[in-house]
Amino acid sequence: MKVLKFGGTSVANAQNIKLVLEIVKQKAEKDKLVVVVSALSKVTDLLHLAAAKAAENDEGFRDIVAEIEKKHLDTLKELIPVSEQSSLLSHVKRIINHLETLLDGCFLLGELSPRTADTILSFGELLSSYIIAQAYQQISKDAVYKDSRELIKTNNDFSKAVVNFEISDVLIQEYFAENQSRITILPGFIAQTLDGITSTLGRGGSDYTAAIIAGAMNAEQLEIWTDVNGMFTANPKIVKQAQPIANISYQEAMELSHFGAKVLYPPTIQPVLRKNIPILIKNTFEPKADGTLITNQAPSNGAAVRGISHIDHISLLTLEGPGMIGVSGSSKRLFEVLSHEKINVIFITQASSEHSICIGILNSDAENAEEAINKAFEVEILQNKIDPCIVEKDLCIIALVGENMKNHQGLSGRMFSTLGKNNVNIRAIAQGASERNISAVINERDVKKALNTLHENFFEENTKQLNLFVMGVGNVGEKFIEQIHSQKKFLKEVLKINVRVIALSNSRKMIFDEDGISLKDWQSTLDKGEAAIPTEFIARAKELNLRNSIFVDITANASVSEMYEKFLKESIAVVTCNKIACSSAYDNYKKLKSLSRQYNAPFLFETNVGAGLPIIDTVKNLIASGDKVHKIQAVLSGSLNFIFNNFDENNSFHDVVKEAGVQGFTEPDPKIDLSGIDVARKILILIRESGYQMEIEDIENLSFLPGECMKTANNEDFFKSLITHASHFENLLKEANEKESRLKFVAQFENGKASVGLQFIPKDHPFYNLEGKDNIVLFYTDRYVDQPLLIKGAGAGAAVTASGIFADVIRIGNI
């Protein structure tokens, strides 16, 4: 014999019930079956609501009854031939009339007792099982209907009745010894007290009904048919990469079901565990899928962690004070109070100092528990020996589960390190002596990030997901997105990094997609996006609360740079080519670096100096290894180097500057480059990264632009001024030729002083042959004295800068 249970989604409507009937038909060809069914989907909730409304003297319960009646009549009409419907419809209507009579009583009395509530809730299973039995009898006459209340007996603890197995097992065995039908269909969830009153087995009790019968009959197998392909490594609705678990032990299944794996009701396992009856969890809508087999043995070659689960809506209650230290019975008193109030304790941890004890309960029980505990310890609280009960709400318990965890060292450290890197604060920790479960209490808003982070670490071959929030999609931004799109497969397969762009924004529009924006046609999607509001951009990134989030700033906007602090405080990493933040006031620069460390959020800005060249990274490594920088000489503007390399007798200064803009080498406002402020910012950043404190005002800027050019208010006037002062630039070129030198805009730092300005570079200088848009930096340090450390290469251009930003993103992926 096999026992099959079908849940609410499996029997949600006539279409689904037809799938159930086909599964039962195929199974019955080989085995004798007991089929236990739940109420039609959502009916139990409707019954709860109707009962509550009736007890509150709300006539609205009648509309709910009408909805329940229609749902069942429509289902029956679709499953049963018209010629057979008449008597069956009358039977269903009689059951509904009985239900309405009970609710009328609640309405008149204005109350709802637990006993009456159980009777009302039983109607869902009574109706569904009757209809399904009648529908199957249209296929085969070798099927009977049996009321579970005649077989399963309980005590009088209504809503969570305790089964009397001694009596129930005998009744079940006697019935099936006499019943020779191939198929027996029963309602789940419901039972009966010894004095004949309807009771229920708790939400999820249909699983329990099936397990009780399987245990009593020593069934070959218990099959739980639901709407998913078995138990998963995590909740697939929250963790999309979750995988079905093929085999799992009873103990592991109990732990996972206790911590919210809703495909299995926790008490289900007990009746079959003692008989070693396997449980198979299958998907009604994919019956050929393997499902999950639960047996007495965990796979010997399985992973240490088999699943990650969680319980929502938890409150943490803490009782502490010096009056608990060395005083026996404090814990006993605490748990007696909770037991008296019928409050279930889900989580317990106690400090070895005995100074405090922490328990986790449902949010709905918190207020009652707090009042009861404070009353029980009233004397100690008045004497200041114990503090009033501390209550923290809106928390969640997450748990790693695995039978083999006890044989692996370092799992706790790995779990907490993974959460810590994503700034998931842990409020409490518990681990049983069996080491089958490691539990932690966290903020409920962090649960999605925590589950995905842990699943990534323990189940996804160490593939790390990076979630990017990109602001600025001009020339550089467009190249950056193009590079991500082209390298996505390589990153995932080779580097085990899955890069997703969650948000994009320009100055006008912004778009968000929690599942990742398609990069094939992102421009058209962005054009249709919502209005770009920076504060809303931050709020949405914060609200999504995704693991490994990175804000990527590809602008030159001061207001955007002011957003970094808010992102870092949310443990969102910042990658930027925007030089404004790191060249702002020294205190702000230091604050951002400090926030990065405090919130474990990387703050990377390699492209601030030298675009894609590893200049800043080199400085960091020098300093970290104990070297000290004494002098820096550099050509740090690829745009200025391009301009002066191409400015000659045949190309006017005005035309060359124009061409630099066309090729994307200059900022949108070319005066930023030509004024020297951009180079000043770059050398300032290098000075600060070398360990020196300096402000932008401390850098001497020897501008080569005439004053009139500097005073222009827009690009049009600026370019006109370059034509007006063409002779000024021609004289500079003439002087350089006379000195057999080349014009280079040089930044330098030595003896605590820094300057930027145009210089005549002789032939024997390393800067003389610097071509195109290249940058070059010379570092003189304790270790590089006579021959400086030299870094040289392309220092401007959209593709080069984008690759530098991309490299910073990958650095974060490798942390």
Residue 282 structure tokens: 């299958």
E-assigned strand segments in 351-425: 356-362, 390-401
Partners of residue 744 on adjacent β-strands: 759
What is the Cα–Cα distance from 229 to 244, expressed in whole angstroms?
Answer: 6
Closest CA to 779 of 759, 746, 813, 750: 750
Full 3-state SS string of 46-60:
HHHHHHHHHHCCCCC
What is the Cα–Cα distance from 133 to 119, expressed in whole angstroms?
Answer: 21
Is residue 82 within 8 A of residue 75, CB to CB? The reply is no
Question: What is the DSSP secondary structure assignment for residue 80, as one 8-state letter?
Answer: S
Taking each helix axis from N to C end, the angle separating 638-646 and 653-662, rounded to the nearest 10 degrees, works out to 140
Give just the sign of the alpha carbon dihedral 518, 522, 527, 533. positive
Is residue 241 within 8 A of residue 455, CB to CB? The reply is yes
Which helix (H) or strand (E) segment holds residue 381: the answer is: helix 378-382
Residue 528 among the catalytic residues: no
Amino acid at 283: N
What is the Cα–Cα distance from 798 to 590, expressed in whole angstroms?
Answer: 29
Closest CA to 390 of 375, 379, 374: 374
Full 3-state SS string of 701-744:
EECCCCHHHHCCCCHHHHHHHHHHCHHHHHHHHHHHHHCCCEEE
**What three-state secondary structure class fits 557?**
coil
Q: How would DSSP label each residue in 231-297?
A: -BSS-TTT-TT--B-SEEEHHHHHHHHHTT-TTS-GGGHHHHHTTT--EEEEETT-TTS--EEEESS
**Whole-Å CA distances, 528 to 475, 520, 522, 534, 718:** 20, 15, 10, 17, 35
Strands 292-295 and 307-320: unpaired
**What three-state secondary structure class fits 779?**
strand
What is the Cα–Cα distance from 644 to 667, expressed in whole angstroms?
Answer: 16
What is the Cα–Cα distance from 557 to 25, expressed in whole angstroms?
Answer: 68
**Whole-Å CA distances, 239 to 178, 236, 313, 384:** 48, 5, 19, 46
Amino acid at 228: V
What is the Cα–Cα distance from 65 to 47, expressed in whole angstroms?
Answer: 8
Helices (H), ranges, 122-204: 123-137, 165-178
Catalytic residue among 160, 479, 682, 744: 682
Closest CA to 513 of 477, 559, 544: 544
**Long-range pairs for 703-711: beta carbons < 8 A, 24 or more residues apart:** 703/675, 703/676, 703/757, 704/676, 704/732, 704/745, 704/757, 704/758, 705/671, 705/674, 705/675, 709/671, 709/674, 710/671, 710/675
Q: Name every residue whose Cβ is closer than 8 Å to that of residue 97 and which is 6 or more positions away in sequence.
A: none
What is the Cα–Cα distance from 731 to 718, expressed in whole angstroms?
Answer: 19
Is residue 153 within 8 A of residue 191, CB to CB? The reply is yes
List, by residue number, the catalytic residues. 682
